[in-house]
Structure 1
Amino acid sequence: MNDMTSILSQPIARLGATTITLGQALGFGAMLLVALFLALAVALWRAGKARAVAAAEAADHARDTEARIADVLQAQAEMHGRMGAIADVFGARQAELTQSLGQRLDAMTGRLGQTMAEQTKSTHESLAKLQERLAVIDTAQGNIQSLAGQVVQLQAILSNKQTRGAFGQSRMEAIIADGLPHGAYDFQASLSNGSRPDCLVRMPNGAPMLAIDAKFPLEAWNAIRAAEGADMQKAAAQAFRRDIEVHIRDIAEKYLLQGETQDTAFMFVPSESVFAEIHENFEAVVQKAHRARVVIVSPSLLMLSIQVIQAILKDARMREQAHLIQGEVIRLMEDVGRVDERVRRLQTHFGQAARDIDDILVSTSKVTKRGQKIEALEFAEGETEAPRDGTAKAEAGARVADSKTGQLRLRVVEDGE
């Protein structure tokens, strides 16, 4: 016992000034064990209580969960019903939609087919028209190529002075031959001075002839068109002016003869463009030609002048035939007067014949009455009517004789005329 006490009283630790013995430590440990036991018991009680609460809560939660699951199942069943109804509605709507889409697709296919047929027909027609136009274009292209060849030939003609003169001469001759009758003109005729104008137009009533020259100089004009610089164009224009002035002077000196040709001569320019260029840019040359009594004419102006001359010739022929027409009219009026006189005589004879016929009808009426009386054996006391009837018959015979004599006299007069 004392050993135990001494052992328990031995110090085992020091906390500051306090010394802790083994007995104190064991006592403190026992107290600590008791405290731990109590704490463990409290904890176990609390844990059991918590488990009970949790079990209650779990049961409540399970009941709530079952209720919710039941609600969810009910809602799911309702949802299945609604989904079935919706599926039925969707199925019906889908069938209707499919039918409607089928009808629309059929209609659209029909319209598309019709449209494609119309487009195909229109395309064929357009292609046919295009082929026709292409054929026309090919023909026009051939004509253009032919015309280009003719232009090249014309250029070759105009490049030569002799052929160019023949070209102008041929154009002038064609215009005059189309506008004037044969015999009203002469080509390449000689004048008294030995000169030979390209054409002489015979004027009516013995008037002097009109001289026409067709040899227009085009070398200087071609030089103007070929000139590139201003100096070259100016020099070519001066040469062109000089050539025209020389040609105008030659026409005035050779073809204007007093009493043989008109006081005015024509200088034919075979191109409308050259004619317009002369009147636009060479006014001094035109004025000089007017003073020299030389008229510059283009194909259209020459045609107009020929038409005027044709009208003058026609008027002159009408005046020459006027006295013949007047004589025929006088003889025609004499014939009309003679016919009127004879008609009047015939009217007189017809009137006399009508009166004779009336007298004859009166006599025949009396004869008829007399016959009726004889047939009825009714004789009147006055038998003197017979001589009167005989007298009337004699008068009627005399009138018929006079009528025949008048007709015979009319025939004799007609034969005499």
Structure 2
Amino acid sequence: MILDLSDPATLGALGAGALALLLLVVVLAMSARLRDLSRAQAQLTGTLAGLADAQARAEAGTAAALTDGAARTAASLGALQQRLAAIDAAQSRIEDLSSNVLGLQDILSNKQTRGAFGEIQLHDLVAKALPPDAFTWQATLTNGRRADCLIHMPDPPGPLVIDAKFPLESYEALLAEPSQTTKTAFRAALRTHIRAIADKYVLPGETADGACLFLPSEAIYAELHANHPEIVREGFVARVWIVSPTTMMATLNTLRAVLKDHRMREQAGDIRRALAALGRDVELIVERAAKLESHFDQARRDVEGIATAAERAGRRAERLDAFDFGEEAAAKPRLAPVIRRG
């Protein structure tokens, strides 16, 4: 069969078939494209699901890390707050200590308050070592001078004066600038103070032939003996003995022993009378004990006599029970031994 291309119907049929074929090709291509798009969409969906899971895991890890970091941060902040509180407390204590040091410096910079400061330390030492009636504070002597402390020692040596003031200014100048000038000034101040004590408080017939200079600082005492021994020797010559808190306590213990010995010697007569009375009491006890022993001996003999009579009465009861009325041989009395006393 031959197609007539000049025939419009034939051309129309051919055009329609080509168009149908083209449409079929397009449909097939679209179907393949849709299948590819479906597979791509499925893959994209899996990828998105994986990304969502990874994002969820990342968010969970981030949240846990943030929570842990927040906890550590809170703990660090708490520890920091505690340390800051401790620093504040330490700063407060340092401020209090600084105020106390400034107060002590103010006390020691004034002669009157410095003397009171030394008297407080001396008061504590004396009150611990001696009985209350063995000393007097601020005692007035016949020359009108007031002694910081007067120990009532027996004669000899007599009442002992203890001075509680000390030249601090020259010592502070020596510490601030240790030079020959400050050393000379320190020695001069001590010599002047030693002479003043000897003139004021060493009164023949009224006080002891010496006095004590109390230094409430072991540092000054060590400085004197280490670097200024000539001052200590001059004090010995002037009969002014320089003492520190440690040596003051040893001196007070020695004075207490002297006072105790003196009071014992004063009370020796009373002690002898008390011992004599005690001896008489002991003799009376011995005498009464001897009498009591003799009473015990008599009671023992009486008990032995009672036992003998009871034994004899028992034998007679046995004979009566056996209807034996014969003569009973007289039993020899049992005599208790006689205790002779020399």
Identity %: 39
- Of 289, 299, 304, which aligns to 1:350? 299
- Of 142, 165, 185, which aligns to 1:215? 165
TM-score by length of 1: 0.54
Query: Would the aligned equivalents of 2:157 and 2:209 in 1 still touch at CA under 8 Å?
Result: no
Query: Is 1:237 aligned to 2:183, yes or no?
Result: yes
- Of 208, 214, 225, which aligns to 1:279? 225
Corresponding position of 1:308: 254
Aligned AA for 1:235?
A: T
Change (3 A) 1:354 1:133: farther
Report 1:360-375 matches (<5 A): 360-374=309-323
- Greater radius of gyration (CA): 1
Paired residues in the alignment total 260
**1: CA distance between counterparts of 2:167 and 2:101?**
20
Corresponding position of 1:293: 239
Corresponding position of 1:247: 193
Corresponding position of 2:7: none
**2: CA distance between counterparts of 1:137 and 1:334?**
78
Per-residue deviation at 1:211? 0.8
**1: CA distance between counterparts of 2:271 and 2:289?**
27
Q: Give the secondary-structure state (helix, strand or coil) at the position aligned to 1:189.
A: strand
Q: Give the secondary-structure state (helix, strand or coil) at the position aligned to 1:257.
A: coil
Moved over 6 A (4+): 130-137
Corresponding position of 1:263: 209
- Of 328, 333, 343, which aligns to 2:282? 333
Corresponding position of 1:198: 148
Query: Is 1:177 aligned to 2:127, yes or no?
Result: yes
Higher mean C-alpha displacement, 181-190 vs 306-315: 306-315
Per-residue deviation at 1:147? 2.0
Query: Would the aligned equivalents of 1:205 and 1:316 in 2 still touch at CA under 8 Å?
Result: no
RMSD across aligned C-alpha pairs, in angstroms? Answer: 3.5
Q: Give the secondary-structure state (helix, strand or coil) at the position aligned to 1:192.
A: coil
**2: CA distance between counterparts of 1:298 and 1:238?**
22
Q: Deviations over 1:150-196 (max 9, x none)?
A: 11101111122222222122222222123222111001112233322
Q: Considering Cα pairs closer than 8 Å and 6+ residues apart, tell me whether 1 or 2 has the greater RCO.
A: 2
**1: CA distance between counterparts of 2:156 and 2:284?**
37
Report 1:29-44 matches (<5 A): none
**1: CA distance between counterparts of 2:276 and 2:154?**
23
Change (3 A) 1:239 1:205: closer
Query: Would the aligned equivalents of 1:211 and 1:261 in 2 still touch at CA under 8 Å?
Result: yes
Change (3 A) 1:169 1:345: same
Aligned AA for 1:344?
A: E
**1: CA distance between counterparts of 2:277 and 2:248?**
39
**2: CA distance between counterparts of 1:171 and 1:152?**
19
Q: Deviations over 1:186-219 (max 9, x none)?
A: 0111223332211101125785111101121222
**2: CA distance between counterparts of 1:323 and 1:174?**
36
Change (3 A) 1:315 1:217: same
Which structure 1 segments of 5+ residues have no match? Answer: 1-119, 400-417
Per-residue deviation at 1:285? 0.9
**1: CA distance between counterparts of 2:289 and 2:155?**
41
Query: Would the aligned equivalents of 2:156 and 2:208 in 1 still touch at CA under 8 Å?
Result: no
Q: Give the secondary-structure state (helix, strand or coil) at the position aligned to 1:188.
A: strand
Comparing both structures, which one devotes a greater share of its residues to helix? 1
Per-residue deviation at 1:133? 8.7
